[in-house]
């Protein structure tokens, strides 16, 4: 009697089912990394709670910040919310530039994916990172190593631009030039556009330069909102250091770290009188503004991606 073959499982019928399958097959977070991220989350939450306690403890400054927030300058509100929204578009453009070396991703889809994963990364354990790698692998047949490479490159570009802002600001101050000119400093690396091997990175760096310049405007605006105005020179330093703090892998989005960095640094470097409580409140306003902008954009992006891929799955049957 012929030996019967085991039935071959039918392939998943949609990208969503294949996505879930890829995660269940162990392509998600390893046990060691999971515990490390849990520890980072606990550390971030502890720092975040400590920052809030410190801000409230300085009662006079805290009350002053709350009073200012009751009647915020409209231009500052628009700058904060608008810069966050435009930043999402610029991030998508950056990854569109970096990813085109490895596969074809329509810009609208990259935009939706970046918005969706950025929103997901506000959740514990940064699920957006794993989701983006799996999505590109299943949807665009881009190897996980290539997606991770573009993410590492983007992180490196952020660190490079922020560091150049800080270094050039210090250099310009030393020789008596206005520190605001440091916002143009990373553009010197645009010389890489002349070299084919560096052209993609140079293009991406210019996009990241504009994006991080928006962080400067955002910090200038959030301090306006809490009634502790700072000059643009100080905002450059705070924005650059905040970006670097956000890149730290131990906590998601620099939770708790950014609050302490801004709270301790702003009173030291600001040319105007700023208290630790006001600086922490400014960062808390920044956090809230990110959630206000990213929550509807992220949810809408997820809906768009789900509907698009369901429609593709039905069309391929």
Give residue-wise pLDDT tens across range 46-75. 999 999 999 999 889 889 999 999 989 999
For the chain, how long is the longest CA-to-CA vector? 92
Tokens of 15: 């990208």
What number is the average pLDDT over the span 76-92?
96
For 194-234, the pLDDT digits (tens) are 888 899 999 999 999 999 999 999 999 999 999 999 999 99
What is the residue-averaged pLDDT of the chain? 86
Q: Which residue has the higher pLDDT, 161 or 180?
A: 161
In sequence order, what are the residues at sequence separation of 6 or more whose Cβ sits closer than 8 angstroms to the Cβ of residue 224? 72, 73, 76
Distance CA 268, CA 127 (A): 36
The residues, any chain, with a CB within 8 Å of residue 102's CB and separated by 6 or more, are: 142, 143, 146, 147, 150
- Quick one: tokens of 87? 């930043």
Query: For a pLDDT cut of 70, what percent of the chain falls above it?
Result: 88
Q: Which residues contact 311 (CB under 8 A, 6 or more apart)?
A: none
Q: How far apart are CA 215 and CA 248, in angstroms?
A: 17
Give the pLDDT band of residue 29 (cuts 50, 70, 90): low
């Amino acid at each position: 009697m012929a030996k019967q073959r085991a039935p071959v499982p039918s392939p998943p019928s949609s990208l969503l089912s294949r996505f879930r399958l890829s995660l269940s097959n162990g392509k998600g977070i390893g046990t060691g990394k999971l515990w490390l991220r849990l520890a980072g989350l606990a550390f971030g939450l502890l720092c975040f709670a400590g920052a809030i306690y410190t801000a409230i403890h300085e009662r006079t400054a805290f009350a002053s910040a709350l009073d200012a927030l009751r009647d915020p300058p409209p231009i500052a509100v628009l700058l904060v919310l608008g810069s966050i929204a435009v930043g999402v578009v610029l991030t998508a453009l950056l990854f569109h530039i970096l990813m085109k070396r490895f596969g074809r991703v329509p810009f609208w889809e990259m935009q939706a994916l970046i918005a969706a994963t950025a929103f997901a990364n506000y959740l514990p354990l940064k699920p957006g990172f794993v989701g983006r790698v799996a999505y590109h692998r299943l949807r665009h047949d881009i190897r996980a190593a290539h997606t991770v490479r573009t993410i590492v490159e983007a992180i490196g570009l952020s660190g490079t631009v922020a560091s150049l802002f800080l270094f050039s600001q210090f250099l310009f101050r030393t020789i008596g030039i206005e520190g605001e000119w440091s916002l143009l400093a990373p553009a010197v690396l645009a010389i890489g556009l002349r070299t084919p091997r560096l052209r993609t990175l140079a293009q991406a760096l210019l996009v990241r330069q504009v994006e991080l310049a928006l962080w400067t405007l955002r910090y200038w605006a959030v301090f306006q909102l809490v009634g502790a105005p700072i000059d643009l020179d100080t905002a450059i330093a705070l924005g650059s250091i905040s970006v670097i703090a956000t890149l730290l892998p131990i906590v998601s989005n620099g939770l708790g770290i950014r609050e302490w960095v801004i709270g301790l640094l702003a009173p030291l470097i600001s040319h105007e009188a700023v208290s630790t409580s006001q600086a922490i409140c400014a960062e808390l306003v920044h956090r809230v503004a990110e959630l206000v902008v990213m929550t509807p954009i992220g949810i809408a992006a997820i809906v768009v991606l789900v509907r698009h891929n369901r429609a593709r799955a039905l069309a391929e049957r």
